[in-house]
Every structure is written in structure tokens, then in C-alpha cells.
């Protein structure tokens, strides 16, 4: 897995929706990607939030507002298995961070996950959960390595903790603060069988008056044994639904592998600002392929208004990550108005390319290359010379791009990325030489097709960044006289008005 841990929070400040996604990559650094109404998805600098986390550390986060300031708390484990806290204070578009250790020498189990809940109405107390020791002797034993998710609707300081039991089923432990004040296991949850080491992310809120229990909503996002490559939604509304919903069909890392080859499934995270608009959708984050984190909006409840709000959310084909090359964004400039006549067509074309890339990524992830046929790779390329020629044309586009849009450093980064991509084509090791050539031809077709169809500027910013900026243009319109398809909005803070 590229991102072994993942969590997300959502808050509303200055009349704008904010989302923060936190993840740990193979370099063990914990990073942040951000969303803000009017700006779209972006990253700040290198995005590093914590540099002392242990490899494959669990991550859990929460947030709340105090006046005009949003409070963020993120928890993880360091190499000594201490529980560490990052304290974020966000106001006027700026987040400052402070750090502390909240549990030292606490005998945290090596495979323990973390979860946090805020049961107090005034957010004065947090509850952080972890596994102290692998324990199979208790009344409700859990697996040695498990995922946790804790939620609270804060009506009466109740807390719900979801985890995978020893039998592999989803379990709920419930702290009934209004009753006798002790932990109980809820036996009413259906026996959903999870995949081994399944990710679990839960949300809880009241869809109306919190004195009426019929308004309580719970959503759990996980991967079921019966749907190994899909993100399932388990729903509670005056009782648990017996049939799960499916919110994503391409959680392919692990899910598409034969059971004997499965190592780990995509991490899953869900966010919702429970104090904002009732109709706002839930946001579910997961990993559909290597080096990609996707977000999908999910209607928070049944009804046309909920469905409409979810369908109105524009999501990128992979959120920008701070380790991406040329992954900078700037806010919309003043005076930007109008729409571009070709935006709808370009959006449709990229949506189609996204679907094709995800489909082929899934086929390759299945590790059964011998079953693929030439029809699986649509391409007009027939030889390695064609691949090399396409690469040369792409490099020429990059050279043309340098003098129109980027600094020398920007161009060097893009060129190095192109060089690396071409080198990787030559070193691809598939099960047969014929399939190696077919895969290279298809890759070159996608790369070259983007360069020719959308011009050197669009290629220069790379596919992932270009797609994110197209979403930004769709959402905000473009200024008259903008270069190419309107993508000179961003410039790393430099003035390119003399183009």
C-alpha cells in the first residue's frame, strides 16, 4: 500500500467548507491535503504534519470550532509506541501546529490502531482509543491487529466504538452515559463479515432534533468479504439496514488479488461536518490504485435533495498530494467571470480517460497478465520505435512549454518526471514480452494522447494536476483572455501578466 493510514476531517469556517485529508506514505511522513470552497483541492508546501511517526502508524483526527478558530487534533504513534498529538489552530486561512506526547510508555500493542471521539457538547474532552495488549480472553475479544473507529453524536455524551471482532464480524461497543454508565456490546448490528484487517471509518449525527432518537444517523464505511474490491456503507436509521450500500467500486489494492496474495486493503476515511447544512454529503476517501487517493461524495440520507447535493460535488481524479511534482494551486483571481465553451467537452473526455485508466489498473493489479488480450489495450502503436517517437514528441512539447508557462526549475521537474516514466516503460516486467509491449503502447497512447489533444501546457502540468485544475475551472469559471484553456490562473505567486 502506498498510503497505509488515512483519515479526514471537515469543518465550516468563514462561510466556507473545509476538508483536511491526512495520510502516511512509504517515507513514514504524515502529510496533509486540503480543500476549501472557492479554491478546490490544494497542498501547502511539502504538507508534512509529523515526521516522527513509526512505519505504518495509525492516524486518527477530529476538529471543532471555537469562535472564529477551528481546532484540529491528529493522533499517531511514534517509534516508541507513544501516542502523539498534533494540535492545529486554523484561522484566516492559516494553520499553526503544536506537538505533544499524550501517552508515554503506555504498553500500546504493536498492531494497535487509534480512534478519537468528542462526546462533550462543548468539545472540552476527547476520548482516544487504542489496544493495550492482544487480548482474546475477555467477553468480546478482538483480533490482535484491528481497525477502530469511534463516534459520538454528543447528545448525552454517548460514545460508539466500532471494530472487527475475533469472528471477523463488525462489532459495536456502546458507552451509555445516560443510563448506568458502562460499556455494553450492541447485539443488534447485523453480522456483516469483513475482510481480514478491514478498514473501518464511521460517522454519527442527528438529522434534526437531537431529543428524538429517530433522527440518529450512523454510517460505517468498510470492505466486506462479499464485496472485496468495493467500499460498503452500513447504515443505521431507526435500525440497521440488512443490506449494505456500495459507494465505490474500485478499491482495487488488495481487493482484486486472489485471497492467497492479499496483504492489505485500501485504507478508508470518512468526513462530515455535522453542524453544517443538513443536506451536505458525506465524503469517503480511499485508494483505488498506486499513489492515488480518491474522494467520493455519498448522499447523507434518502431523498432527492440529498442526492442532488452529492451529485453537485466536483471531485478530482485523485486528490493532490504534497509529494506530487508541480502540485501547487492558487486561489481564484478577482474579476474572474464567465465560462469556457470547451469545458464540458474536456470534462467528458477526461472522465472517459479516468474510467479507462482505472479499468486497466484493475486488470493489471489482478496479477493475471496472461489472461489479457490485445483488445484490452486500445492503441495504434505497433513497435517500440513508435513508443520512442511518442516520447520524443512529448519531450518536444515540454520544451515548448518551458518558455510559455514555467520557471526553469518547474520545467526540469516535469522533464525528469517524463524521463522517469519512459525509463519505467523499458523496465516493466510482465509475464510475457508481448504483454509488456502492449502495456507500453497503451501507456504511450494515454501520455501522447493527452499531449496532442490538450496541448503542451496541459501536458506540462501533468495529467493529475491538469484534471484538478479543470475541476477548478468548471466550478469557478475562467477569466476572459486566459492562456490555452484558462490554466494560467496559477503561477507559484509569480507575475505572468506579460504573456
Whole-model pTM over 0.85: no
Q: Distance (Å, rounded) from C-alpha 158 to C-alpha 356?
A: 45
Give the pLDDT confidence of 456-494 residue by residue, as tens digits. Answer: 443 344 444 444 544 444 444 433 222 232 233 333 333
Which secondary-structure segment (H or E) carries 453? helix 433-460
Q: Is-contact 224 216, C-beta < 8 A?
A: no
- Identify the H or E element spanning 465: helix 463-476
Residues 6+ apart with CB under 8 A from 19: 8, 9, 10, 34, 35, 271, 283, 295
Q: Supply the pLDDT for residue 142.
A: 55
- How buried is residue 243: exposed, middle or buried, by Cβ count under 10 Å (0-12/13-18/19+)? exposed
What per-residue confidence (pLDDT) applies to 116? 94
pLDDT of residue 332: 29
Whether the per-residue pLDDT at 200 is higher than 90: the answer is yes
Q: What is the pLDDT of residue 187?
A: 74
Higher pLDDT, 122 or 327: 122
Q: In the chain, what percentage of residues exceed pLDDT 70? A: 54
Percent over 90 (pLDDT), the chain: 20
Cα distance between residue 319 and residue 22, in whole Å: 11
Lowest mean pLDDT among 66-75, 213-222, 279-288, 479-488: 479-488
Q: Which range among 43-47, 140-144, 148-152, 263-267 has the greatest average pLDDT?
A: 148-152
pLDDT tens readout for residues 69-125? 889 999 999 999 999 999 998 887 778 889 999 998 888 888 889 999 988 765 668
The predicted pLDDT at position 21 comes to 93
Which contacts (CB < 8 Å, 24+ apart) does range 101-106 have? 102/75, 102/128, 103/128, 103/130, 104/80, 105/80, 106/81, 106/82, 106/130, 106/132
Give the mean pLDDT of 138-151.
68
Distances (CA, A) of 114 to 76, 110, 111, 265, 449: 7, 12, 10, 17, 44
Question: What average pLDDT does this structure show over 287-314?
Answer: 83
**CATH fourth-level superfamily of 6-326:** Fucose-specific lectin (2.120.10.70)
Mean pLDDT, residues 41-64: 89
pLDDT score, position 493: 31
Residue 164, helix vs strand vs coil? strand
Radius of gyration of the chain (CA): 24
Q: 436 with 429: CB under 8 angstroms? A: yes
pLDDT at 201 over 70: yes
Angle formed by the axes of helices 433-460 and 384-405, nearest 10°: 10
For residue 240, what pLDDT band results from cuts at 50, 70 and 90? very high
Lowest mean pLDDT among 61-70, 154-163, 216-225: 154-163
The rounded mean pLDDT for the chain is: 69
pLDDT band for 305, please (50, 70, 90 cuts). Answer: confident
Whether the CB-CB separation of 471 and 315 falls below 8 Å is answered with: yes
Each residue's pLDDT tens digit, 359-371: 544 544 443 334 4
pLDDT of the residue at 459? 39
Cβ neighbours of residue 161 closer than 8 Å, sequence gap 6 or more: 115, 117, 129, 148, 149, 150, 172, 173, 174, 175
pLDDT band, very low/low/confident/very high, at 13 (cuts 50, 70, 90)? confident
The confidence score (pLDDT) of residue 320 equals 72
401-407 own/partner pairs: CB under 8 Å, 24+ apart: 401/456, 401/457, 401/459, 401/460, 402/460, 404/456, 404/457, 404/483, 404/499, 405/457, 405/460, 405/483, 405/488, 405/496, 406/460, 407/492, 407/494
Query: What number is the average pLDDT over the span 417-440?
Result: 46
CA distance 264 to 197: 7
Q: What's the sign of the alpha-carbon dihedral 271, 276, 277, 278?
A: positive
Rounded CA separation 331/38 (Å): 7
The closest alpha carbon to 7, from 272, 298, 201, 294, belongs to: 201
Rounded CA-CA distance 50/475 in Å is 32
**Predicted local distance difference test score (pLDDT) of residue 81:** 92
Name the nearest CA neighbour of 484 among 352, 342, 291, 377. Answer: 342
Domain ranges of the chain: 6-326, 340-454
Amino acid at each position: 500500500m502506498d498510503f497505509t493510514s488515512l483519515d479526514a476531517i471537515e469543518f465550516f469556517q468563514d462561510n466556507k467548507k473545509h476538508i483536511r485529508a491526512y495520510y502516511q506514505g512509504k517515507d513514514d511522513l504524515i502529510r496533509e491535503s486540503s480543500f476549501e470552497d472557492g479554491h478546490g483541492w490544494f497542498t501547502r508546501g511539502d504538507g508534512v504534519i509529523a515526521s516522527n511517526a513509526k512505519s505504518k502508524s495509525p492516524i486518527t483526527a477530529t476538529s471543532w470550532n471555537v469562535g472564529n478558530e477551528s481546532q484540529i487534533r491528529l493522533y499517531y504513534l511514534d517509534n516508541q509506541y507513544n501516542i502523539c498529538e498534533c494540535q492545529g489552530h486554523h484561522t484566516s486561512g492559516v494553520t499553526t501546529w503544536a506537538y505533544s506526547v499524550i501517552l508515554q510508555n503506555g504498553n500500546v500493542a504493536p498492531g494497535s490502531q487509534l480512534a478519537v471521539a468528542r462526546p462533550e457538547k462543548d468539545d472540552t474532552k476527547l476520548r482516544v482509543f487504542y489496544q493495550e495488549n492482544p487480548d482474546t480472553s475477555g467477553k468480546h475479544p478482538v483480533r490482535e491487529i484491528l481497525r477502530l473507529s469511534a463516534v459520538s453524536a454528543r447528545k448525552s455524551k454517548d460514545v460508539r466504538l466500532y471494530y472487527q471482532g475475533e469472528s471477523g464480524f463488525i462489532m459495536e461497543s456502546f458507552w451509555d452515559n445516560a443510563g448506568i454508565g458502562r460499556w455494553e456490546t450492541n447485539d443488534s448490528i447485523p453480522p456483516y463479515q469483513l475482510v481480514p484487517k478491514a478498514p473501518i471509518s464511521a460517522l454519527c449525527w442527528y438529522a434534526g432534533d437531537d431529543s428524538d432518537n429517530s433522527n440518529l444517523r450512523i454510517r460505517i464505511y468498510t470492505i466486506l468479504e462479499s464485496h472485496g474490491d468495493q467500499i460498503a456503507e452500513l447504515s443505521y436509521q431507526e435500525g440497521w439496514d440488512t443490506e449494505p450500500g456500495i459507494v465505490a467500486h474500485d478499491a482495487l489494492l488488495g481487493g482484486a488479488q486472489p485471497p492467497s496474495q492479499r496483504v492489505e486493503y485500501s485504507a478508508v476515511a470518512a468526513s462530515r461536518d455535522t453542524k453544517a447544512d443538513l443536506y451536505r454529503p458525506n465524503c469517503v476517501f480511499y485508494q483505488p490504485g498506486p499513489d492515488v487517493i480518491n474522494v467520493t461524495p455519498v448522499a447523507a440520507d434518502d431523498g432527492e435533495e440529498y442526492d442532488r447535493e452529492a451529485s453537485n460535488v466536483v471531485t478530482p481524479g485523485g486528490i493532490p498530494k504534497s509529494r506530487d511534482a508541480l502540485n501547487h494551486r492558487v486561489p481564484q483571481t478577482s474579476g474572474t467571470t464567465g465560462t469556457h465553451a470547451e469545458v464540458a467537452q474536456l470534462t467528458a473526455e477526461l472522465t472517459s480517460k479516468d474510467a479507462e485508466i482505472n479499468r486497466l489498473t484493475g486488470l493489471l493489479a489482478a496479477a493475471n497478465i496472461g489472461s489479457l488480450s490485445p483488445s484490452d489495450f486500445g492503441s495504434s502503436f505497433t513497435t517500440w520505435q513508435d513508443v520512442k517517437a511518442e516520447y520524443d514528441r512529448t519531450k518536444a512539447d515540454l520544451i515548448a512549454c518551458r518558455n510559455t508557462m514555467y520557471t526553469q526549475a518547474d520545467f526540469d521537474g516535469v522533464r525528469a518526471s517524463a524521463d522517469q516514466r519512459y525509463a519505467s516503460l523499458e523496465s516493466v516486467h510482465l509475464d510475457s514480452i508481448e504483454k509488456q509491449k502492449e502495456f507500453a503502447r497503451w501507456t504511450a497512447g494515454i501520455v501522447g494522447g493527452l499531449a496532442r489533444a490538450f496541448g503542451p501546457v496541459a501536458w506540462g502540468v501533468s495529467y493529475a494536476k491538469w484534471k484538478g485544475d479543470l475541476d477548478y475551472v468548471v466550478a469557478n469559471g475562467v477569466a476572459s483572455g486566459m492562456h490555452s484553456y484558462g490554466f494560467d490562473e496559477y503561477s507559484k505567486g509569480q507575475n505572468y501578466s506579460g504573456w
